[in-house]
Amino acid sequence: MATLRLTVNGKTRNVRVDDANVPLLYVLRDDLGLRGPRFGCGLSQCGACTVHVNGESVRSCVYPSSSAVGKKVVTLEGLGTPAHPHPLQQAFIEEQAAQCGYCINGMIMEAAALLSHKKNPTDAEIKAALADNLCRCGTHLRIVRAVKRAAGAKT
């Protein structure tokens, strides 16, 4: 057993794990009860598990929990609250960008990383940033509109 001291969504938590290299996704979901990051493929290919570690997008299904020690982890729940959603969360609601909703965690987290360094991205830049996030429902145009709305761009 190992005890990991993780800072998730601004709160420091001690988590006991059997293996310090267990994927961060399992610690977030199973030990901390967070439901934003989703298990999709387990191979870092779909993006459903995307979180931010020190401001960078990472696929938590393959990111060792021990690598998050001493870093700031932010999940979808850490972006905003139901009472005060993050502008991206609000834009996704307004654009009705979610259909089944499974990919939306990854789309929002990847878009938040994009907007943190590119304040007014073009459609092509948004599409490139989200290209590795899989969506089977086909809400891609609404997702792009939501990111542009959150960036303050005209849709």
Q: Which tens digits make up the pLDDT trace of 81-138?
A: 999 999 999 999 999 999 888 999 999 999 999 999 999 999 999 999 999 999 888 8
**Domain 2-77 class in CATH:** alpha beta
Cα(14)–Cα(43) distance, integer angstroms = 26
Cα dist from 67 to 15, 22, 52, 95, 143, whole Å: 14, 10, 13, 36, 31
pLDDT in tens, 43-97: 999 999 999 999 999 999 999 999 999 999 999 999 999 999 999 999 999 999 9
Question: Under CATH, what is the fold of the domain 87-151?
Answer: DNA polymerase; domain 1 (1.10.150)
pTM of the model as a whole:
0.94
